[in-house]
Structure 1
Amino acid sequence: MQNFQNLAELFEFGVKTYRNPKLLNYKSSEGVWKSISADEALNRVKNIALGLYQIGIGHGDKVALLSESRPEWTLTDLGIISLGAIDVPIYTTQALPQVEFILKNSESKLIFISTKQLYERVLPALRNVGLADKVITFEKVSDDIMTLEQLEAKGEKLNKENPELYDQLKSKVNPDDLATIIYTSGTTGDPKGVMLTHSNLISNAVTCASLFTWNATDEVALTYLPLSHIFERMIIYLYLSIGIQIWYAESIDKLADNLLEVRPTVMTTVPRFLEKAEERMLAQVQKMSPLKRKLFNWAMDIARQYDPEKKFPISYRIKHKIADILVYKKLRQRFGGRFRFIVSGGAALRPDLARIFTAAGIPVLQGYGLTETSPVISVNRLERNRIGSVGPVIPGVAVKIAEDGEILVDGPNVMKGYYKNEVETQKAFYHTWFKTGDIGYLDKDGFLFITDRKKDLIKTSGGKFIAPQAIENLLSASVYVDKAVVIGEGRKFASALIFPNFEALKQFAQENNITYSNNSELVNHPKVQELYQKIVDDVNQHLAQWETIKKFAVIDGVLTIDDDYLTPTLKVKRRNVESRYRDLIESFYKE
């Protein structure tokens, strides 16, 4: 396995080993796909690093980065860390008070911002922390604000004057130096700044790359997840180390089109994208003839029985082959037709969804990790894919299960600590073991299973424990449920708030001749209430008696990041949701 002193070396190795002419690819404002070669990318990274050096940014300085995913994000990130400075990424959806907190807490000296729209949105926060005049933008905002192009021009000039300077600066960046401070989007309180070193990220990228076979000339990766999240950030380093083509999706809304245009062979995702793809598929099936609907449902039944670890009898294999010709092939075509595999992380993946896509020839491999672990702890492999698990622990990383069921992790991927927060850092460790906060177990074959977040476990007034995420995942398996929040801490029984998938629900209303003038009328219609009662009843059949949902409400709204009910990674802020619907929840438990 290749050893690198820092991430700049990892990047340079990928450039010089593979010389990919289409390393970074993006769609221009004219709607044309354009490429940045490996050599051009390396030159631009050098120019950015030297441009930053020219304007006074040095080793150990913090530089914030606020942008959607695009090549400039990657180039700027590499420029910052090549210099020995520390990258501080910020989500484009982050609430203004959190943006201000991150900039202030990290002591960022400068901020990169992609667009005028984003600049104007965060300007009040910039003024409050004294960074209004310490901004570099990817796109021109005004004559007073430096652009990335102008910064690169400064760096290019300095490089001509002193061709050895970049390598000198890069050589001083050590493995244990901080590469980034990533502020977790926590469901409670202020975000915590996770300190990750160059060696943390290198170990994770190099180890994960070694788990799969790659062909630098043929491999095509599509990226759409936010690069401010550690999952996609590390994956980009992985791709760069093996020199493969990276194509940046235009946006989540254009992802379906981009899949057909790019025809990727690999991609990372969160389960929500696969769920949305399933919803679109089911909506289209409803418009088909009864015969075609029956055929599709038969093929899905075959897919739900699929198990990549199992050897099936000839009768199943024949049915699978027929389903593949008639149904699965079309699904593959909608995803570009060339996928070797997709890795899913960030949230629990429904086992039936994994089976459907894997049976259809698009293997979905579930993995697990946290920002604090750079992030990957475990991941399924093409040759070892146990659906329902998050895979075997990756080489070099150790996992053990504490007495209370909490997953503990040790290894070269574990963070240095939380920035300027020694109290939380101490709380996060048991000796050298990082406490993940997740409850789980290892099966006899070494596959890791996650059951819930430790802090989310519900203890009823009767002393019974309920794992809400498992129940919420079962409820959300319905196409008619967007999010579900299970309640029950200190209560006599479990209840639930159900947030509908209104797109699917409105289709249901149309098919059942339900008239309504607003969402409140829709969710309170007797047929809709009956629909959700059946969903709850079906889920209750899979639960122990004390876990069953005794009461629920269908909410006429949606949970959003802007309303502070979801984190930027779309995790539910339970405390905020429960506070918002306190009166409704209390009504469940009145005698």
Structure 2
Amino acid sequence: MRDFALAPPAVSHPTGGLADSVFDRAAHSPTLPMLARRPDAASSEWEEVTAVEVRDEVVDVAKGLVASGISPGHRVAIMARTRYEWTILGYALWAIGAEVVPIHPTSSRDQVEWILRDAGCVAVAVEDEQSVMTVGSVCAGLPRLRHVWQLDAGALGDLVQRGEFIPLATVDSLRRIVLPDSTAAVAYTSGTSGHPLGCALSHRGLASPCDTLLEGWGHTAAPPGEQGSVLAFLPLSHVYGLMIQGMCVRGGLLMAHEPDLSSEALTSALRSFRPTYFYGVPSLFEKIYKTFLRTAQQMGRGALFERAAETARDYAAACERHRLGAGPGPGFDLRLQHALYERTVYRKLRGALGGRARRATSGGSPLNRDLSLFYEGIGIYVHDGYGLTETSGGITMQPLGREKSGTVGQALPGTDIRVADDGEILVRGPSVFQGYVSDDAATRAALHGGWLATGDIGQLDPEGYLTITGRKKDVIITNSGKSVAPAALEHRLRMHPLIHQAVIVGDNRPCVGALITLDPEFLAHWRAGLAWQSDAPNREAREENALREEITRAVAAANSAVSRSESIRVFRVLPEPFDLANGLMTPSMKLRRDLIVRAYAFEIDAMYQARSRGGRQAVPDDSASWDDADNVFR
């Protein structure tokens, strides 16, 4: 092993099941607002639901589940967006010892059938009529499935009515026999290829990272004396969403739900709910940054924003050096500039996120260091977290007062991390999953003497800060034998406002290439700002040439961070993004690399062949003949 980081002592072990936190909160703080919801999607008013009201609703739904024949150990799927009913139903299931199987609501018919069969679900709660039809089309092959409940049709109200005759003592008795090591959820990995695997997560596993983070960092979720609040919008079908929900319920944070992930809906919800803590995935933080830039340019203040952004990054970097003992902190001129932009720029940017958040978490994939410094510089420190479905959520955190952007922090108390000789990150601790359901071979391949082989590659520095460099299976090996981790290049490409997504390719090729998609909103804004936007002759050709030059500059900027042999030499801009609809993105917003490479095999071949014309051999052995970056627009 190359690196090893032992964690500090763990916090006290959780007892009982996840639903106990709902009952404990109601007993000790009955009037504390626990959840917030809107009367309808168009409303900007939020109705607060107290802890005792949440508990009573959970109990009433739990009684309905018992009346419907749901028993301890039964698996029930929830296939819905992030909404109030998801949380109520999930905790009702946990209250009676049932196991939750989250399914992303946009899952295909085949994916739904696979998960329901593999998990052996006896019931499924869906959101709308379309989802009812999807489940209905596969029911014939699912003999265990007995109930399909539709949330939009009042399923929870029906369950409450059905359970009216069930005594409260029944639910209490079932809840008290739930053990910490009982399975709470079977969360299916997003899977970049093949069928997803169901990760069995215990009540202890899901509670452990929540309790550890709350004990050490919970006070940072809001200013002193205020109740913390979080807007939940990422899918509860992903472990990241489940962990955020668990932290809110266990930590007494007010949680609101926003099921609509469109920019307009999310912006409206943030401004009306005004959370004290923000969380998201890197692509969301990138999009917010680009929206800031585009809005500033549309107002004729693009240069001002870029100067303010540079100052924010410089200021944050100076602050980081000071807290790590490597510098004196921002100088007088930098502090003066930062104070000026605080009054004119930064507070307005924070206002777009509700105005109250001072800290945030990014998860799902590594966050670009420059982007992290930007947010810290405008007054919102974004902690880049690390975790997997198999670890029940987060396993690292930045130590308070010793935060280091560009890393995912240090191991949580009670969790140990080491890096194998091949760079793979290994983890052990209380949140590691119980195994893959129905696949003992996959479980044995992942767990070795209590250590989980994560499949991620990274580095531990002497102080125990972990840096993620990519996925082990994503490493590209060119035909010259050069190994390239694509993440760094992809992150730098996406920092250009025109670039939405990037996938690095090059396995068994003479050089590294890239498939690129463009941000449609910024592209429209960019086109509108061109000087020849009028009826100038050959406008379209001139626009395409200008776009080609802009993307070429973005590629050159990305290449500046890597060695010559690792740099991008060919690229192609694709006409449409990778998304859930075309099956090239997972519900957790990760790109399905294997499927993308297969789907665009023709385009990949074409961009390499374009460089081998004109006397060059089809597959040059000498990568030096690919020195000049080329570009091919489809």
Band of TM-score, shorter chain: over 0.9
Structure 1 counterpart SS, 2:184: strand
Structure 1 counterpart SS, 2:514: strand
Q: For residue 196 of structure 2, what is the aligned residue in structure 1?
A: 191
Among candidates 304, 308, 331, match of residue 299 of structure 1? 308
Q: For residue 395 of structure 1, what is the aligned residue in structure 2?
A: 413
Q: 1:28 to 1:382 in 2, by over 3 A?
A: farther
- TM-aligned CA deviation for residue 395 of structure 1: 0.4
The answer on whether the counterparts of 2:15 and 2:179 sit within 8 Å (CA) in structure 1 is no
Deviates more, 1:301-310 or 1:555-564: 301-310
Structure 2 counterpart SS, 1:486: strand
Aligned residue type for 1:341? R
For residues 45-444 of structure 1, the aligned pairs below 5 Å read 45-130=58-143, 134-140=147-153, 147-159=155-167, 163-214=168-219, 217-253=226-262, 254-289=265-300, 292-305=301-314, 306-307=316-317, 308-309=319-320, 310=322, 311-444=329-462
**1:42 maps to 2:55:** yes
Aligned residue type for 2:599? R
Structure 1 counterpart SS, 2:298: coil
* CA–CA distance in structure 1, aligned partners of residues 28 and 225 of structure 2: 10
- TM-aligned CA deviation for residue 237 of structure 1: 1.2
**1:502 maps to 2:523:** no
The answer on whether the counterparts of 1:216 and 1:242 sit within 8 Å (CA) in structure 2 is no
Structure 2 counterpart SS, 1:525: helix
* CA–CA distance in structure 1, aligned partners of residues 302 and 438 of structure 2: 58
Aligned residue type for 1:198? H
Among candidates 554, 566, 573, match of residue 592 of structure 2? 573
1:489-523 Cα offsets, whole Å, 9 max, x none, are: 1111111111111221222222223589xxxx789
* CA–CA distance in structure 2, aligned partners of residues 293 and 551 of structure 1: 30
1:37-68 Cα offsets, whole Å, 9 max, x none, are: 21111111112222111221111111111111
Deviates more, 1:186-195 or 1:211-220: 211-220
Q: May I ask how many residue pairs the two structures share in their alignment?
A: 577
Aligned residue type for 2:147? K
**Taking structure 1 as the reference length, what is the TM-score of the superposition?**
0.94
* CA–CA distance in structure 1, aligned partners of residues 72 and 144 of structure 2: 19
* CA–CA distance in structure 1, aligned partners of residues 358 and 343 of structure 2: 18
The percent of aligned pairs where both chains have the same amino acid is 32
The answer on whether the counterparts of 1:15 and 1:243 sit within 8 Å (CA) in structure 2 is no
Q: For residue 458 of structure 1, what is the aligned residue in structure 2?
A: 476
- TM-aligned CA deviation for residue 139 of structure 1: 2.2
Structure 2 counterpart SS, 1:559: coil
* CA–CA distance in structure 2, aligned partners of residues 413 and 106 of structure 1: 21
* CA–CA distance in structure 1, aligned partners of residues 503 and 299 of structure 2: 34
Q: Which has the higher contact order (CA 8 A, sep 6+)?
A: 2
* CA–CA distance in structure 2, aligned partners of residues 22 and 427 of structure 1: 44
* CA–CA distance in structure 1, aligned partners of residues 350 and 603 of structure 2: 44
Aligned residue type for 1:249? E
The answer on whether the counterparts of 1:186 and 1:567 sit within 8 Å (CA) in structure 2 is yes
* CA–CA distance in structure 2, aligned partners of residues 489 and 524 of structure 1: 33
Deviates more, 1:381-390 or 1:439-448: 381-390
Structure 1 counterpart SS, 2:395: strand
For residues 484-503 of structure 1, the aligned pairs below 5 Å read 484-503=502-521
- TM-aligned CA deviation for residue 276 of structure 1: 1.5
Deviates more, 1:82-91 or 1:111-120: 111-120
* CA–CA distance in structure 2, aligned partners of residues 157 and 347 of structure 1: 48
The answer on whether the counterparts of 1:62 and 1:109 sit within 8 Å (CA) in structure 2 is yes
**1:526 maps to 2:545:** yes
1:415-447 Cα offsets, whole Å, 9 max, x none, are: 000001001111112221100000001112211
* CA–CA distance in structure 2, aligned partners of residues 505 and 460 of structure 1: 32
Q: 1:218 to 1:437 in 2, by over 3 A?
A: same
1:439-493 Cα offsets, whole Å, 9 max, x none, are: 0011122111000100000111111110011111111111111111111111111
Q: 1:152 to 1:523 in 2, by over 3 A?
A: farther
The answer on whether the counterparts of 1:7 and 1:202 sit within 8 Å (CA) in structure 2 is yes
Structure 1 counterpart SS, 2:580: coil
**Taking structure 2 as the reference length, what is the TM-score of the superposition?**
0.87
The answer on whether the counterparts of 2:243 and 2:393 sit within 8 Å (CA) in structure 1 is yes
Q: For residue 631 of structure 2, what is the aligned residue in structure 1?
A: none
* CA–CA distance in structure 2, aligned partners of residues 251 and 446 of structure 1: 38
Q: Which runs of 4+ in 1 moved over 4 A?
A: 130-133, 521-524
Q: For residue 557 of structure 1, what is the aligned residue in structure 2?
A: 576
Structure 2 counterpart SS, 1:12: helix
Structure 1, gaps ≥5 residues long: 142-146
The answer on whether the counterparts of 1:365 and 1:380 sit within 8 Å (CA) in structure 2 is yes
Q: 1:20 to 1:70 in 2, by over 3 A?
A: farther
**1:17 maps to 2:7:** no
Deviates more, 1:20-29 or 1:81-90: 20-29
Structure 1 counterpart SS, 2:124: strand
- TM-aligned CA deviation for residue 314 of structure 1: 2.1
Q: 1:250 to 1:410 in 2, by over 3 A?
A: closer
Among candidates 491, 502, 505, match of residue 473 of structure 1? 491
- TM-aligned CA deviation for residue 263 of structure 1: 1.1
- TM-aligned CA deviation for residue 35 of structure 1: 2.5
The answer on whether the counterparts of 2:247 and 2:253 sit within 8 Å (CA) in structure 1 is no
- TM-aligned CA deviation for residue 349 of structure 1: 1.1
Aligned residue type for 1:426? R
